[in-house]
A and B are shown apart, each in its own frame.
Chain A
Amino acid sequence: MAQAYTPGLKVTGKTTIRKTRRLPLVGTVTVRVGDRVTADQVVARTELPGKVFPVSLANQLGVLPEEVPDIMRKKAGEHVTKDEVLAEKKAFFGFIKTDFKSPITGVVESISKITGQVILREPPIPVEVKAYIDGIVVEEIPHEGVVVEAEGALVQGIFGLAGEVHAPIMKLARTPDEVIDEEKITDALKGKVVIGGALLTRGALKRCAEVGVTAFVTGGFRYNDVKEVLGYDVGVAITGHEKLGTTLVVTEGFGKIAMAHATFDLLCAHEGKIASLSGATQIRAGVIRPEVIIPLAKDAKVVETADAVDLGLDVGAPVRGIRAPYFGRIGKVTAMPHELMKMPSETKVRVLEVEFEDTHERVLCPRANVETIERR
């Protein structure tokens, strides 16, 4: 395959970020191309059709389905309030009346003489989409939403939990390999996007939610703790709707694994600035990565990271191992043999030679088991 390696996640000091903000149904766009918007500004809104309540009136009043339209006090399309009489059955020349009161406030959507069923619908539910990042509207998707653009720093994570938030950045870990346990989570972190190191323990994440930490960015998190925190296994990496209290962005992977230096330095350099984050992850068709976006002024000083993703995989490229036995090890590609090679597992694959930055040991590993990372 032409591209038998994993492109790295983006970690960049300044780039143009475009976010599509779309409604789930057609609606109204509330801003125009060229407008400057803030993260919590509504850019489009619509109304989801209200909840539906089917009522089997034939059964409720003991009539035949075809009699239902005749006993209705309300016609299809008419408004009805809760406890208002919806239908009335008369017996014994009108002396005995039995009625049925509406369980909701809404409208009568349909009346069926085949099933004897009446469908009631609650008022519509307003849905709003916010800008998510501070920026400028550069495109309008008619009746659906907009594209917001901003210049800023961008860090893509590998896995995250919970949805979109924005808050000022605060550095907690002193080094990228620091382990953050619950004792380090204090009230001072309330309402902040906190930068951690190699591991955030389960207890620490729980404490973050208690304290009111807006979001936490960490290098590693134990996979087992995901289940413990959520109460269920995340079997498929499709996340973003969890109710955690604190949005989590994991930059490296599961386990204790130091945050890449460039990621750590970049985030820490912007301490105090507002960051927009999302833990939403989808690792399959329609890839979505968790992210940290720090919108910057046009003349802001750029933290150097150099572009990583464009380098491709070649001799000299900095890479990170993403599978055992070299998971998390960082090194540099020293050779790219063309021929297929047999691994100890007897799998025949295209390989590369890596020299690790810490031990200077050189090893062969499958090209698919490394990802390119940013140059430092």
Chain B
Amino acid sequence: MSTPAHPHASSGRDFSKIRSVLATDCGSTTTKAILIELVGSEYRLTSRGEAPTTVEAPVEDVTQGVLNAVREIQELRGRKFLSDDGKKLITPQTGDGDGAVGADIYISTSSAGGGLQMMVAGVIAKMTAESAARAALGAGAIVMDTVSTDDKRLPHQRIERIRQLRPDMILLAGGTDGGTLSHVVELAELLAAANPRPRLGIGFDLPVIYAGNNKARPEIQRILGGKVALQIVDNLRPVLERENLQPARDAIHELFMEHVMAQAPGYKKLMEMADAPIMPTPGAMGLIIQEVARRDKLAVVGVDIGGATTDVFSEFDGVFNRTVSANLGMSYSVSNVLAEAGLPNILRWVPFAIDEAELRDRIGNKMIRPTTIPQTLEELKIEQAIAREALRLAFLQHKLFAVKLSGVQKERTIADAFSQGGQESIIDLGKLGLIVGSGGVLSHAPRRSQSAMMMIDSFLPEGVTELAVDSIFMMPHLGVLSTVNPKAATEVFLKDCLVRIGTCVAPVGPPAPGKPYMKYELTLPGGKRESGELAYGQLKQIALEFEAGAADAVLTPLHKQVDFGRGKGHAWQGKLRGGTAGIIFDARGRRPFEIPTSEKDRVRALTEWNAALDLYPPDEVSGKAGK
């Protein structure tokens, strides 16, 4: 990975020659530990363990969960990583081979205790406020609210909101350098009037980062100075045409460590234990997604669907974006998926008839008992139907957020005069090269083809798009590792983390029931040839392992409106790589993508699609709902 290695500021140690790494992610419910070791000349994942996170009473010390997770590794690996009293990690490693004790370094990410919760403020919603939100999200925060002078709220309503939310920190932006002062100063006055208190640490001042018009700094200092813990950094939008988000992001990470983490139970100890600064989990995951995109020169979308939130990351043409859908998730937030998507949208992915009231009760019960696991096939199908909607909504939010900069002067064409709608999204599904999925429902689906179909159905990729998943949820660990040893992070990422599922080939084209839609001709590695036709609405899977190498493919439209990315009616020629689910041809059309609305037709279509990919085992008797 390209991120430069640097010795940890406090230890001054050289991390380029480490033999072993213990890494943890302290999540809101589970602390996940991994062990990476130098095996021969390359770094590999050798063990993993997990334990409940211990931020809550009665333990109230996050390091206990870390020690418990490492103890599981100690037992599985048969090597000592904890001191005799079990209260300390042994670093650095002593001895080698069978006589090795401890690990060379310990690093960690964290989203425990609700992660990093921020509020951002900027002068104009679609300009500086949006840039401020992008800076905060990119640093791994949840943005609780965005305040701007044009947010249609009255000033006293904004003040009330700031007071109610109690964020971990506030990012204040506004104005270009040297521009008008009054608007951003007015925002500072509102902030001062609200006198906001931090979420943690009742007696502490709230950290506020100012990243706006540099001319306003003295005024901002005067207004906010004694009231909050103010830090001033470079303007995140020095001119309208350019964002400069990194100084604000760095300040967020620094304050996250100094103020937020220092208030959370046990984090002072955790910070002392770690050999590199602790990063917010999504911030670390974002680093990895950016590295993949830059290394493979691909447009990449990454998604991490958790119990409470779903994070979407993207990098298109060198522009990185992250969004967090704070209330879209598979356990704590599962009822919110139902609320936001609506029951009909979830039902459209359920391949059998089900009583609606019973389905609502089941979803409600999953929310209040979030750790349960689908035992029956029917429960699994329902869970994966909900996941499709959570992913779809999270991606929709991402597309609306990941837009080109507003306020930039550009030449207008006559077409612009007729175009309605908002800003132009930079998410171009035709350019998208790779989708990477992470989180329990994607990483732990019993069959990888299920993960593939969940991502295809929710993101509706167009043309040729590769698919992959995080094998055991270790991308955040590798993100923070990439800051101290890029080589180790890259090697483990490629060998042990990224599971290649395959490639989705989905031409754009209108509905054409019963009509021939596309034709494929493949020359597989080794020379074997495969060819066939798909009618509109069909799916087809061709087995091909990633390691076997790419197939030469010729894709031909059989309908004049069908487009593989080379124009309507034009053939596509190139290489297709496989994976655990091989190559998936999707002739269900795009723009629009349609699922039959009647229950009978819907069940028939979904059953056919599931059968085409051998998505589920045959229905079993005990899989039927019953009490």
Contact = CB atoms under 8 A, between A and B. Distances in A.
Contacts of B367: 236-237, 283
A346 B446 contact: yes
B30 A1 contact: yes
B373 A233 contact: no
A322 B624 contact: no
Interface string B416-449: 0000000000000000000000000000101100
Contact of B623 (A235, A322, A323, A344): A344
Give the one of A2, A234, A235, A345 with max B CB within 10 A. A345
Given A112-B185, A254-B365, A346 B617 contact: yes
B470 interface: no
Given A1-B50, A286-B56, A325-B622, A223 B361 contact: yes
A344 B376 contact: yes
A366 B193 contact: no
Contacts of B155: 53-54
Contact of A2 (B72, B369, B375, B627): B72
B56 A346 contact: no
B100 interface: no
B365 A233 contact: no
Nearest to A20: B57
A114 B364 CA distance: 52
Give the one of B51, B190, B374 with max A CB within 10 A. B374
B371 interface: yes
B623 A345 contact: yes
Interface stretch (B133-141, B170-178, B336-344, B454-462): B336-344
Given A233-B335, A283-B368, A346 B375 contact: no
A253 B193 contact: no
Interface stretch (B5-13, B194-202, B239-247, B482-490): B194-202
A234 B358 CA distance: 17
Interface string A35-78: 00000000000000101111000000000010000000000000
A58 to B, nearest CB: 9
Contacts of A116: 182
- The binding surface of chain A is classed by DSSP as loop
Interface in B106-145: 112-114
Interface in A96-139: 109-110, 112, 114-117, 119, 121
Contact of B194 (A6, A52, A114): A52
Contact of B186 (A117, A283, A326, A371): A117
A284 B375 contact: no
Nearest to B383: A345
A222 B357 contact: yes
A255 interface: yes
B263 interface: no
Nearest to B381: A345
Interface in B325-360: 327, 332-333, 335-340, 357-358, 360
A209 interface: no
Interface in A312-326: 322-326
Contacts of A6: 369, 371-372
Contacts, number: 207
Contacts of B358: 255
A328 interface: yes
B195 to A, nearest CB: 6
Contact of B156 (A53, A237, A253): A53
B543 interface: no
A343 B364 contact: no
Interface in A267-325: 281, 283-287, 322-325
Give the one of A158, A223, A329, A368 with max B CB within 10 A. A223
B526 interface: no
Interface string A1-21: 111001000000000000000
B232 interface: no
A233 B365 CA distance: 14
Nearest to B367: A237
Contact of B364 (A109, A223, A369): A223
B112 A233 contact: no
Given A114-B182, A223-B363, 7 more contacts: A51-B159, A52-B156, A52-B193, A112-B185, A285-B112, A345-B374, A345-B380
Interface of A: 1-3, 6, 25-26, 49, 51-54, 65, 109-110, 112, 114-117, 119, 121, 144, 158-159, 222-224, 226, 233-237, 253-255, 281, 283-287, 322-329, 343-349, 365-366, 368-369, 371
26 contacts: A26-B203, A51-B156, A52-B156, A52-B159, A52-B194, A110-B189, A117-B189, A158-B368, A159-B368, A223-B363, A224-B357, A235-B339, A237-B367, A253-B364, A253-B369, A324-B627, A325-B624, A343-B373, A344-B377, A344-B617, A344-B623, A345-B377, A345-B379, A346-B446, A366-B373, A371-B369
Interface of B: 28, 30, 50-52, 55-56, 68, 72, 112-114, 155-156, 159-160, 181-182, 185-186, 189-190, 192-195, 197, 202-203, 219, 308, 327, 332-333, 335-340, 357-358, 360-380, 444, 446-447, 616-617, 620, 622-627
User: Which 8 residue pairs are nearest across A and B when measured between Cβ atoms?
Assistant: A235-B336, A223-B364, A233-B339, A346-B446, A254-B364, A345-B380, A323-B372, A54-B155
